[in-house]
Amino acid sequence: MVQLAAMVGSAAGHWVHLPSPKQHLLVACGAAAGLAAAYNAPIAGALFVAEIVIGTIAMESFGPLIVASVISNTTIHEFLGYAPVYEIPAFQFKSNWELFFYAALGYLLGHLAPSFIKLLDRSENLFARTKLPLTLKLGLGGLAVGVISMLYPQVWGNGYSVVNSLLHQNIAWQLLAMVLIFKIIATAATIGSGAVGGVFTPTLFIGAAFGSLFGTALGAIFPGMTSPSSAYAIVGMGAFLAAATQAPLMAILMIFEMTLDYKITLPLMLACVIAYTVAREYRGSESIYAGALRRKRGLHAETPAPDSKTH
C-alpha cells in the first residue's frame, strides 16, 4: 500500500514536471497517505515518513505529510467507514508496579529486533549467492513458505487474523511459540527471495506474539496480579516496531491511534523507548529499512549515466 501510493506520487510529480525536491516530497506524501489509509493512523503515517524516509520533522516537509495523511484517511472512511485494523479490547493496566514488567518486555524486544534485521540481511545474502535468476529465487522463497504453511497455516498472509485472535482469545503458548518462530523464518524467506512484500505488518505480528507469550508467562508466575496477555501483546506490537524501525514516536502514536485508549500510553511509551534504546546499541541508528535503502542507493550509483548522444 505504501509503495503503490508513493509510486502514484512519483508519477504525478513527473507528469507536472515538478523540480526534484518537490518530486521527492510528493513521493513521501504518497507513502504517508498509503500508511494512513492502510492502518487508520494519519498521525503515525506522517511520522513514519518523516522519521524514516525523510529523516526530519521540519515543518516544511511535515506539513504536507499531515495534509496527505488526513485526506487519505478521510477518503478511506467514506468508502469503508471507520473501523480499526485490529479489533483491540479495552486496555487493562492494573497498577504502577506493573510498569517494571512492561520495561522488561521492551528490553527483551530491543534485543530481538536487531537479530531479526540481521536474519533478513543474511537471507538476502544467501539468496544472492545462489546466482539464480529472479524467477527461480521467487520459486524457492515460495516453496519455503509453502512447506512451512502446510504445518502452520497461521504464517500465511500479513498476520491480521492471528493478531486479532491473540487480542481476544487465549492461544496455547506452545502453538503460539511455533507460529512465531516459523513466521520469522517465512518472512525472511519471502524478503530474501526478492518477493514484493512489506515487513511492517510482520513486525507488528512478531511484537504481538512475543508480548502475548511474555504476558502468559507472567500470568503463570503471578496469577491474578498482572494484566491479561492481550495487554502485553498490544504493548509488544509498539515496542518491537519502535526497535525495528528506530522510530519510537511513530510506534507510540501508531498503537495509540489503533487503540484510542489513554491508559495504554504509560506502559507503551516506556516499552517503546527502552526497546528503541537497546536496539540502537546494536546497530546505531540503522533501521529495518536501512539495508533496502542502502542497496537502492548502491544500484543507482552503479548505473551508468545515459549516453548524451543517444538520450
pLDDT tens track for 59-72: 677 888 889 889 98
Local structure of residue 153 (DSSP, 8 states): G
Please give the domain boundaries of the chain with CATH numbers for all domains: 2-80 (no CATH), 96-297 (1.10.3080.10)
Q: What is the distance between the alpha carbons of residues 145 and 168, in angstroms, rounded to a whole number?
A: 27
> Would you state the pLDDT for residue 309?
40
**pLDDT over 60 (residue 58):** yes
In the block, residue with C-alpha cell 501510493: 5
**pLDDT over 60 (residue 161):** yes
The amino acid at 96: N
pLDDT band of 302, cuts 50, 70, 90: very low
Q: What is the pTM of this model?
A: 0.83
pLDDT band of 230, cuts 50, 70, 90: confident
pLDDT band of 276, cuts 50, 70, 90: very high
Q: What is the mean pLDDT of residues 9-35?
A: 84
- How many residues in the chain? 311
CB 152 within 8 A of CB 178: yes
CB 77 within 8 A of CB 247: no
> Would you state the pLDDT for residue 299?
42
63-72, 95-104, 194-203, 245-254: range with lowest mean pLDDT? 194-203
Can you tell me whether residue 308 is helix, strand or coil? coil
Write the CA distances from 298 to 29, 294, 295, integer angstroms: 24, 6, 5
> Would you state the pLDDT for residue 311?
37
> What percent of the chain is helix, strand and coil (3-state, nearest 5)?
75, 0, 25
pLDDT band of 4, cuts 50, 70, 90: confident
Other beta carbons less than 10 A from residue 228's beta carbon: 17
**pLDDT over 90 (residue 81):** no
CB 61 within 8 A of CB 28: yes
> Would you state the pLDDT for residue 283?
63
> Would you state the pLDDT for residue 196?
72
